[in-house]
Structure formats: C-alpha cells, structure tokens
A and B are shown apart, each in its own frame.
Chain A
Amino acid sequence: MSDGQSGPDGGRDVEAYAGLGDWTPESLAVAGEVRAVVSAPHQVLSRAGDEVDPTAEETVRLAADLVATMRVSPGCVGLAAPQVGVAAQVFAVDVTGHPKAVTVHGTFVLCNARVVEATRWKPGREGCMSVPDLTGDVKRASRLVVEGELPGTGAAVRLVTDGFEARALQHEIDHCAGLLFLDRVAGAHAVYQRKVYL
C-alpha cells in the first residue's frame, strides 16, 4: 500500500498536500445510506458537478452514502456523486483486491479532485454501473497524480498512483465533469454490447 507521499512539483504549496494518511470512511462518523444508482441517459450524468465544501455536513453525508452504495454494489470499484443523482464533485474509490491493481490506497473519498499529471497512456476496456449494457475501449493514463480534498477535514491531498487505481480515478473524475466512458472511446467500433454481468 502506498500513501502517495511524493511531494508536489514547483509552484504549489508543498505543505498543503499530503497523502491520505490514516483516513478511512469511518472518520466521517456518519452511517452511509445506500442510494439508487442512475443510468444513462439520465441528465445528471451529462452535467459537470458543482465544486463542494468538503467540510459541509451534506458533503460528509454524501461521501458516506457513496461508500455505502459502492460497498453493496457487486464488482463496483468506484462511484461518483452524479451516479447517485447528485451533480457534485465527490467520488469514492476502492480497488482493494482487484487483480489488476498495483498501487492500492484502500477505500477513500475525494472532493473537487483534479488530475495534475497523467502519463503512460494505455488502452483498456471499461464498463460502468451507469451504462449497464455497453462497454468500450478507452485510453487512460497508467501513471497518475491527482489532487483533491478529503471530506470531513477538508485536508488537501495528493495521490500518486498507477494501473487500475489510476484508471478508476480518471473514470470517476470524468463522472464529476459530466463525462462517461462513451465520451472517450477509441473509435466508431470501440463500443460493445456488454457480455458478462456480475
């Protein structure tokens, strides 16, 4: 497990960014409720999410709900607020135990996250809970640096990750920007009927 402690590059406040440290969803101190997951073509999935105040009570509740909903959804390794009908820049990720995952940060939630470095682009086939009947080939960075804020404390964090966790983060950050994998597929013949359901 890596906590992504490498320092930010020039121009940024080095002290302002740290890894996740010992953050866990339990530190939200709110029992998350399972919410209904919406499917495309629901409008909320095509709308850029609003920035949030990570310390606001509603953000903390949303973060807890995303984790709770992710945990009851088979095979789900990430869930963004628009997928539960909320146009906000909040998402949960947990790739623990996934065979393709290399760096794993456990379960975490980020607010207002943005990609600051993306390298080593690789193609891969993605499916999404909100697009249940299709999959598509999408190129994503396999080395990624993301900055965001933790719900609850609002602490600024910088995550350095790779491989499958990097793909999951980019997929969720896209959701928060109103983008689906369908917006990024590799070509006219790069979308397929989904053949395997969990």
Chain B
Amino acid sequence: MNELAITVIGRDRPGIVADVAEVLARLGANLTDSTMTRLRGHFAMTLICTGPDAAEVETALVPLAAEGQLLATVRAVTPDGEVAPAGEPYVLAVHGSDRMGIVAAMTRVLVDAGGNVTDLSTRLAGSLYVVLAEVELPAGVAETVTGRLHRTAAELGVEVTLRPADPDLL
C-alpha cells in the first residue's frame, strides 16, 4: 500500500477542502491523518493518504493548482504507523510581544531536555505573539525544563507556562 504525504497551500476560499478531497476520493486515496487550517488568509493542508502512487495524485491535483491559487506537493513516504509514546504529555503556552526567535529558543530548551514537539501552532495578533505546543518530555524532567523555559522566556520578554496534558480516563 502506497503512503503519501501531501501538502496543499493557497489563498483561502470556500471549497478548497472539498475540491482536494474529491480528487483524492476519485483516485481511491484514503485520507488518514490530516491537519488543515487557515493561516493569515492562506489555507494550509498537510495530509497522509494511502492508495494510488504519487505521480497519479500529483497529476490529478494539477487542474486545481493551474488556477494559480493553490500549490500542491505529493511525496511517497514509508509507512511508520503510530510511534510509541516517548514520554509524558505536556502543553506549552508562550505569549508576549512579537520578536524574532521565540519558537527557536523555546523549542531548543525542550529538545535539549530530550523532549519532542508533536504539535505546534503560532498566532500573531497585532503585536501579540502566541505559541501553543503539545510536547512529550522524558519522565522527571518537567521541573528542570520549566525553570529553563522561564529563564529563556525572561530573556525574550515573554510569558511561558508548561502544564501536564494527561487526560482523565472515564
């Protein structure tokens, strides 16, 4: 079974998801994991699909891209399935005045502690910059990481919180 990593980005308009999903469905490409969102007027999609080969999907997406409004890439990838959890889940929240290097500095702290960012989004609203991330941290390092994050945040002039994201099982 082919597994494809597809990205589509373009100026937002109603119908992008339906158009791309229709092309994939027509080709028998099964849309598995995906994330899609609007970023400052651009609609961005990252999709994992199984089914046809990459060239076939690329060709089928050309008419959408031909309007000059969408850019699509298709790449065959090796199926990995689900990766085993690497640590304990945390949510990182950062907010403050926009400046260069906030994401770079904060995520470097996490990586240096053996952490892994599994999801991250940023929003710029006026001069306010917000970073939200889902992070896996090795057991027992959260307190040390929190201290380092606070020191880095102070240098950047932003606020940071790191809190456990463990779910309640019901």
A contact residues vs B (CB 8 Å cutoff): 75-78, 98, 100, 124-129, 133, 135, 164, 167-168, 171-172, 181, 188-189, 192-198
Contact = CB atoms under 8 A, between A and B. Distances in A.
Interface of B: 35-37, 82, 85, 88-89, 118-119, 121, 134, 136, 165-170
Given A189-B35, A196-B89, A77 B169 contact: yes
A63 B136 CA distance: 39
Contacts of B136: 195
A125 B170 contact: no
A76 B36 CA distance: 34
B82 A127 contact: no
A168 to B, nearest CB: 5
A15 B122 CA distance: 55
A164 B88 contact: no
19 contacts: A75-B169, A77-B169, A98-B168, A125-B165, A125-B167, A126-B168, A127-B167, A127-B168, A167-B170, A171-B170, A172-B170, A189-B37, A189-B119, A192-B165, A193-B118, A194-B167, A195-B88, A195-B136, A196-B88
Contact of B170 (A168, A188, A198): A168
A25 B169 CA distance: 22
A196 B168 contact: no
A100 B167 CA distance: 12
Contacts of A194: 167
A33 B88 CA distance: 34
